[in-house]
Amino acid sequence: MAKGSVLREKSYAFAIRAINLAKFLREEKKEYILSKQIVRCGTSIGANIEEASGAQSNNDFIAKLHISLKEAKETHYWVRLLRDTEYISKEQAQSLIEDIDEVITILTRSLKTIKSNNVSPTKRSA
């Protein structure tokens, strides 16, 4: 995985947004359960991408990216739920959804490329 990869940067930036969203939910809305869910899955995306960079095999690398993809989809769910229960505005949700959709798209494309090219561990670039 390239050191300054777009996927790493976007997932890290999203993790920061997830933490800030959780702070907002706790401080402004007094909501503690959903805020924990957002932090857990929203930061797990990037953490698993980071772990993938140290993967011991292609299968390990692919597995870590799959976990990131699952966490990204779960995050998408929680953001929609927060929007539809009016904990966050439609505008806040839309911005978060656009960011998480971009991460999902990059992860999906990366996984397709890796699987179709059977990229060796030394040539990974997600």
Residue with tokens 């698993």, as numbered in its chain: 48
Kindly state whether residue 126 falls inside one of the protein's structural domains. no
Range of the domain at 69: 6-115
**Confidence class of residue 117 from pLDDT cuts 50, 70 and 90?**
confident
Q: Where does the chain show beta strands of DSSP type E?
A: none
**Confidence class of residue 120 from pLDDT cuts 50, 70 and 90?**
low
Per residue in 6-27, pLDDT (tens digit) is 999 999 999 999 999 999 999 9
Alpha carbon 97 to its chain centroid, in Å, reads 11
**Confidence class of residue 2 from pLDDT cuts 50, 70 and 90?**
low
Q: How many structural domains compose the chain? A: 1
- Predicted TM-score (pTM) of the model is 0.89
Kindly state whether residue 120 falls inside one of the protein's structural domains. no
Between CA 40 and CA 2 the distance in angstroms is: 25
Residue with tokens 């920061």, as numbered in its chain: 16
Instruction: Kindly report the CATH number assigned to the domain that includes residue 22.
Output: 1.20.1440.60
DSSP SS3 for 54: coil
